Amino acid sequence: MTELIAEIPTWSPNAAEFLTFSPELAWVGTLCLIMLAPLAIGRDARMTAGLAMVGIAVTAFFTFKVMGIVSTEGPKTGLTPNLAGGMLIADNLSLFFKVLLLAFLIGVSVLWMSVSAAKEDDAPEFFVLLIGSALGMSLMVSTHNILMMMVAIEFASLPSYAIVGFNKHKRIAAEASLKYMIFGAVSAAIMLYGASLIYGFFGTLDVTLIASNVGPVLAAGGANRLLIGLAMFCVFAGIAFKISAVPFHFWCPDAFQGAKTEVTAWLSVASKAAGLLLLMRLANVFCQNAGAEVLRGVAIVIAVVATLTCTIGNLAAYKQTSIKRMLAYSSIAHAGYMMAAAAILVDAGTVESFTAISAVLAYVVVYMLMNLGAFGVVALVESRNGEDDSITAFAGLGWKSPALAIPMLFCLVSLVGIPPFAGFITKWYLLAALGEAASGLYWALAIVIVINTLISLWYYMRVVVQMFLKESDTPAADVPMSGTLLVNVCGILLIVLLVLSNPLKERADRYSAGLFSPVVAGLAAQPDEESLARSNDPVGGEPVAKDAQGG
């Protein structure tokens, strides 16, 4: 028994470790504060938002503090902040994403303030759900343990289900949240089932160990191969649901259309990015630990799914009449582009995998700006013409309110991915990462991406046509200043990030290069061989083999 206990990493938290955990704690504190605040200060939207901002600021403070620690001590020096007994990681990638989430939270809050706050009675609940899902997402990118992953995904998802149906009196909102919830529950269940099988095969839910054992287990032959594949795919399905990768994308358009636009903006970026970075982290772990054969199989699956995702996303967007639905499909397509980078799985020791992560990081940043801008304009336009989210509602916008139409144009063109907008440069990073991987599969993916770029032009331009090439009789209406400012900042940043993309790319490189790598960190060094030996042990093999033969 002592042996067993020795194997479970003991967790005796100290101050330093708490500090690395502080952003999450601050987040939880904020949640509690906002939940309790109505008792003291009432349900005023402004006050609540102010409170949320304070919480965000505090969280940001701690996040930067932790970043400082990580970057000085460095993840690869063995001082990696492993939390909760190795369940959580606070490395550059997760911290970077937290910063991004915070920034995005501010953006979404501003948007919410300018379009919804006035008619909203449930501000505290809104912020609780929003920040709650943010916390879940930040946990998603901070783990490579399947159990923690499941918990984090649920943590991110549950508030999301609720926030999609936040508009209680709207039929489509209720419908959307129900669909989202059911689909989410189903994929969670499947993921859990897959996780249980994986646990059976490898005796652990730590992906590092799984990755290093999968090769030998496979080499043992037999039906394991199929079952392991099935189990891993089930887990992958859970992540794919968050990314809304085909064929787990069905919830996405419906949920996005039914939800409030600012919520759509939030989900379209944050939850997908979290899922993607989680996938990237797992891919990275696999790269470091698994053998070439496994990598090839995994890469092909991801590549196929990525291809399907971007192609179907783009094609389905073609004839949409609702701009939110169209942008929802567009977000599916973009998830597909980013997923293509996750397919870059090459043998350990090469740098390509972190190039891919770097590309995705940069992409996520710009993608956030583009979607915030685009959905921001949609929300603003909707708010002044009675919730009409059809594309034709944009007719003549370019002449009536250029302050909205021009950032919208920037965002849309950037979404297509052509200069002079940052969407191009990040797409270029993706392609470069694929090119650097230098194999037929990745060149094919690159070609898939560029062809999809071409396909996507058509439906993005439909909006542009409405805005600038069509006339409309409806007079221009006032739009809230703060929202307008927000979308314009997004639009301008898109240009700035093209011209001065170095800072972005440098950071992306730095944070991805500093990705916590368990093998290097030494955590898995010991258990590695043991668990490997165990996996080869016939104890596990016998019943499973029987089972497979029976099935």
Partner 1 sequence: MDQHLISWIVFLPMIAGIVLLFVPRELVKWVALFGSGLAFVLSLLLFKTFWGGDAAAIFGDTYGTLHHVERASWITGNKFNIEYFVGLDGLSFPLFILTTFVSLLACLASFNFDSWKINKGIKAYFFLFLLLETGMLGVFVSLDFFLFYVFWEVMLLPMYFLIGVWGGERREYAAIKFFIFTLAGSVLMLVGLVAMFFYSADAVAEYPEIATSYHTGAPLTTGTFDLIELATNDAIQKYFGAASTTLLNVRFAPLMFMFLFIGFAIKLPCVPVHTWLPDAHVQAPTPISMILAGVLLKMGGYGFLRLCYGIFPVGGEFWAGFLAVIAVISILYGALCAMAQDDFKKLVAYSSVSHMGYVLLGVCVMTTTGFQGAMFQMIAHGISSPMCFFLVGVIYDRAHHRQINKFGGLWLSMPRYGSMATLGFFASLGLPGLCGFVGEAYVLLGTFQAGPKFDWAYTAAICAAFGVVLTAGYILWVIQRVYLGSVREEYKGFPEANGREMLILAPLGALCILLGVLPKQTVFDFMNGTLNLLVDQMNAVTQVAMAATGG
Partner 2 sequence: MFEIGLTHYLVVATLLFVMGIYVMMTKRNAIGILIGVEMVLNGANINLVAFNRYNGMSGIDGQITSLFVIVLAAAEAALAVAICMNFYKNLNTVDVDHGDTLAG
Partner 3 sequence: MGNYEIALCLGVVAPLFMFAVLAFVGHRIGKPTSGWVAVLGVLISLGCATYVLTGWLSATDKAALMATTGYDWVVLNLFGNEMPIEFKVKLDGLTVMMYFMVTLVSTCIFVFSIGYMAGHSDEVDGQCKFHRFFCYLSLFEFSMLGLLISSSIFFLFVFWELVGLCSYLLIGFYFDKKFASNAAMKAFITNRVGDFGFLLGLMLVFVFLQTFDLDQAAATFRNQYETQSGIFAADIDILGWHVSGMDLATLMGIGLFCGAMGKSAQFPLHVWLPDAMAGPTPVSALIHAATMVAAGVYLVARVFRLLTPDAQFFIAVIGCITLTITALIAIVQIDIKKVLAYSTLSQLGYMIFGMGVGAWPAALFHLITHAFFKAMMFLGSGQVIEGCHHVQDMRKMGGLRKKMPVTCWTFLIGVAAIAGVGIPGAHIGLGGYFSKDEVLAVAYERAYNWEDRFGGHAAEGGHREGDAHSAAPALRSGQVIFASGGEHADSHADAGHGGGHHDDPVLAGIAAKQHKIPKWMFWLPIIIAYVTPFYMMRCWWMTFMGKPRDEEVHHHAHESPLMWAPLIVLAAGTLISSFYMFRPELGEAAAHATQAPLVVSVDGEVPNKAQHELLGLSHDKDKDPHAALIGIVGFAWVAGIGLAILIYRNGLDLAERIRRLPLIRFFHWCLMEKLFFDHIYDTVLVGGTKWVLAQVSRAVDTYIIDGIANLLGRSTVRIAEFSGNIMDTGGVDGLVDAIGESTQGVGEMVRQPQTGKIRNYIMFGTAGAVLVLAAMIAVVLS
> Which of 18, 61, 250, 458 forms a contact with partner 1 (CB under 8 A)?
458
What is the total residue count of the chain? 551
Residue 185 in the binding site for partner 2 (CB under 8 A): yes
Q: With H, G, I as helix, E, B as strand and everything else as coil, classify residue 181.
A: helix
Torsion angle defined by CA atoms of residues 54, 57, 59 and 65, in that order, rounded to the nearest 10 degrees: -150
Residue 221 in the binding site for partner 3 (CB under 8 A): no
Is residue 141 within 8 Å of residue 274, measured between CB atoms? yes
Residue 154 in the binding site for partner 1 (CB under 8 A): no
Position of tokens 């955990």?
A: 21
- Residue window 457-486: x/- pattern of binding to partner 3, with contact defined by CB under 8 A: -x----------------------------
| Cβ 355 to partner 2 shortest distance, Å | 35
Is residue 233 within 8 Å of residue 324, measured between CB atoms? no
Cα–Cα dist 198/145, whole Å: 12
Task: Give the footprint of partner 2 on residues 321-360 (CB under 8 A).
Answer: 325
Which amino acid, residue 71?
S
Residue 161 binds which entry of partner 2, partner 1, partner 3, none, with Cβ cut-offs from 5 to 8 Å by kind?
partner 2
Task: Give the footprint of partner 3 on residues 248-267 (CB under 8 A).
Answer: 248, 250-251, 253-254
Residue 318 binds which entry of partner 2, partner 3, partner 1, none, with Cβ cut-offs from 5 to 8 Å by kind?
partner 3
DSSP string, 332-382: HHHHHHHHHHHT----TTSSHHHHHHHHHHHHHHHHHHHHHHHHHHHHHHH
DSSP string, 434-497: HHHH-SHHHHHHHHHHHHHHHHHHHHHHHHHIIIIIS---SPP----HHHHHHHHHHHHHHHHH
Residue 399 in the binding site for partner 1 (CB under 8 A): yes
Residue 425 in the binding site for partner 1 (CB under 8 A): yes
| Cβ 275 to partner 2 shortest distance, Å | 17
Compute the radius of gyration of the chain from its Cα atoms.
23
Residue 428 in the binding site for partner 1 (CB under 8 A): yes
Task: Give the footprint of partner 1 on residues 319-378 (CB under 8 A).
Answer: 351, 355, 358
> Which of 173, 243, 446, 479 forms a contact with partner 1 (CB under 8 A)?
446
Rounded to a whole number, what is the largest CA-CA distance in the chain? 79
Cα–Cα dist 90/13, whole Å: 14
Cα–Cα dist 393/470, whole Å: 11
Task: Supply 189's token pair.
Answer: 């269940």
Task: Give the footprint of partner 1 on residues 463-492 (CB under 8 A).
Answer: 464-465, 468-469
Residue 497 in the binding site for partner 1 (CB under 8 A): no
Residue 435 in the binding site for partner 1 (CB under 8 A): yes
Q: Which residues bind partner 2 (CB under 8 A)?
A: 3-5, 7-8, 147, 150-151, 154, 158, 161-162, 165, 168-172, 174-179, 181-182, 185-186, 188-190, 192-193, 195-197, 199-200, 203-205, 253-254, 257-258, 320, 325, 534, 537, 539-540, 543, 546-547, 550-551
Q: Which residues bind partner 1 (CB under 8 A)?
A: 351, 355, 358, 399, 413, 418-420, 424-425, 428-429, 431-432, 434-436, 438, 440, 443-444, 446-447, 450-451, 453-454, 457-458, 461, 464-465, 468-469, 498, 501-502, 505-506, 509, 513
